[in-house]
């Protein structure tokens, strides 16, 4: 009897990509949705509370960067090892990933215990807002282990093609948060502290579900501590892709810090915080598509199947551009309605409506940068993804935005997004083409 073949090596590419991407898209959309729901509930507390969560959000992005970056490195490594049928190395890699996830969370615990107040006062000079920042920050960092373990366990499932199971754990955590938010905030009158508590409870529950799904339904990826010790070669293999991804994700934090500093006023900061979460909700399908490519490309790269890699890239880029164009139409048509979800004041709507319409024309370019960057990571090169993200979020965007704001005012400054996205897309297209010629050209 022939052993069952992994679907990533045999299923038709459009069907495979769809089966991998849809669960990831849905799970990421739900994850983004509960960030939006958090902000909607917080906006009902006060605009200062919304400003506080907007100010803290870059710190959360750094936390997410550390967890997701390490997990992406694991995803790429395990997918490649599964394609090479190296079962012992798969177990060693998975165990190493889990240990790294727990060690990473320890850094955040120390940060939350000893530096929450100092960071909060660095973010704002307003004492009331700083206190709100400190309360939220302390809870989400001190109890961050659940988030790190949840992310890692989900990537174990994704690396073997079980994206539907990965979606289950994330949805459980997200729905838990959405249900608990109004209970903690309004019924029990816990305010912003309740928002943070609901978030970490959802993360811990999602982690428990992901661990159970791996234990019972993912025999291809096992964790074993028998005779285990950290090996530099395995850690390096993980962070060869993971470190650029961490730096790439961290750039979102730098971008938020920089934009908040340039924007200056509370209303502008509150707008950008609300818009950024709306934008992330749209970008989640793009990210899901890119993340689906990573294990497919990694598996077929390990198996030496060049044609399937090329077919995956062509299909994913086409679909990504379609998602970006659909997002442009939606945001162009309904900017006031989208911002009004956050209990937006007339000042915020007056500032934000034209800004949303100017920014959203770039979404197709974002899709190209995102999808091709993740495809390069699947080939073991995380630098292309990192540099592309750096160009669009920091290296070009922030100087250009600051200069245009100083010379022409805030409304004109949003065109900096056009310049940054175009440069990033051009770089990633050229860089991926070079990587493809070097590694998978027929």
Encode pLDDT of 258-306 as tens digits. 888 898 767 888 888 888 878 887 888 898 898 888 888 888 887 788 8
pLDDT of 157 above 50: yes
Residues 204-230: tens digit of each pLDDT: 999 999 999 999 999 888 888 888 888
pTM over 0.85: no
Q: Is 203 exposed, middle or buried, given 0-12, 13-18 or 19+ CB atoms closer than 10 A?
A: buried
Band of pLDDT at residue 5, cut at 50, 70 and 90 = low
Q: What is the pLDDT of residue 2?
A: 44
Between CA 29 and CA 349 the distance in angstroms is 25
What was the pLDDT predicted at 312?
A: 92
pLDDT at 122 over 60: yes
Q: pLDDT digits over 265-278, tens only? A: 678 888 888 888 78
More confident residue, 11 or 183: 183
**Mean pLDDT to the nearest integer, 161-165:** 81
Mean pLDDT of the 31-50 span: 75
Which two structure tokens, joined as six digits, stand for 192? 């912003």
Task: Report whether pLDDT(86) > 60.
Answer: yes
Largest CA distance in the chain: 72
User: Does the pLDDT of residue 31 top 80, yes or no?
Assistant: no
| Cβ 403 vs Cβ 380: under 8 Å | no
| Average pLDDT over every residue of 415-434 | 95
């Amino acid at each position: 009897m022939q052993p069952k073949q992994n679907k990533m090596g045999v299923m038709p590419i459009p069907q495979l990509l769809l089966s991998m991407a849809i669960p990831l898209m849905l799970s990421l959309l739900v994850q983004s949705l509960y960030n939006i729901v958090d902000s909607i509930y917080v906006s009902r507390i006060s605009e200062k509370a919304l400003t506080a969560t907007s100010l803290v959000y870059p710190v959360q992005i750094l936390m997410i960067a550390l967890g997701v970056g390490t997990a992406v490195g694991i995803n790429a490594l395990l997918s490649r090892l599964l394609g090479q049928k190296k079962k012992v190395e798969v177990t060693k890699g998975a165990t190493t990933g889990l240990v790294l996830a727990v060690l990473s969370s320890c850094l955040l615990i120390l940060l939350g215990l000893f530096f929450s107040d100092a960071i909060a006062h660095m973010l704002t000079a307003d004492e009331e807002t700083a206190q709100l920042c400190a309360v939220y920050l302390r809870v989400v960092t001190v109890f961050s282990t659940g988030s790190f373990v949840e992310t890692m366990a989900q990537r174990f499932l994704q690396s073997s093609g079980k994206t539907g199971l990965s979606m289950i754990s994330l949805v459980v955590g997200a729905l838990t948060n959405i249900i608990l938010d109004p209970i903690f905030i309004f019924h029990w009158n816990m305010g912003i502290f309740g928002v943070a508590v609901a978030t970490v409870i959802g993360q811990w529950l999602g982690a428990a579900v992901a661990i159970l799904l791996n234990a019972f339904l993912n025999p291809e990826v096992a964790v074993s501590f028998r005779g285990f010790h950290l090996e530099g070669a395995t850690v390096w293999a993980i962070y060869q892709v993971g470190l650029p991804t961490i730096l790439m994700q961290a750039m979102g934090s730098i971008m938020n810090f920089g934009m908040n500093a340039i924007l200056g006023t509370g209303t502008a900061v509150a707008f950008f915080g609300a818009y950024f979460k709306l934008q992330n909700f749209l970008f989640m399908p793009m990210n899901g598509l890119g993340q689906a490519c990573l294990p497919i490309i990694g598996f077929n790269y390990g198996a030496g199947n060049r044609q399937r890699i090329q077919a995956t890239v062509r299909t994913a880029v086409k679909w990504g551009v379609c998602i970006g164009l659909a997002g442009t139409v939606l945001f162009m048509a309904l900017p006031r309605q989208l911002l009004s979800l956050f209990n937006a004041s007339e000042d915020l709507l007056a500032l934000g409506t034209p800004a949303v319409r100017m920014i959203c024309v770039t979404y197709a370019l974002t899709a190209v940068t995102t999808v091709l960057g993740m495809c390069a990571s699947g080939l073991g090169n995380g630098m292309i993804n990192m540099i592309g993200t750096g160009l669009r979020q920091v290296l070009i965007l922030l100087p250009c935005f600051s200069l245009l704001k100083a010379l022409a005012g805030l409304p004109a400054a949003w065109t900096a997004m056009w310049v940054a996205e175009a440069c990033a897309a051009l770089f990633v297209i050229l860089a991926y083409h070079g990587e493809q010629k070097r590694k998978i050209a027929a």
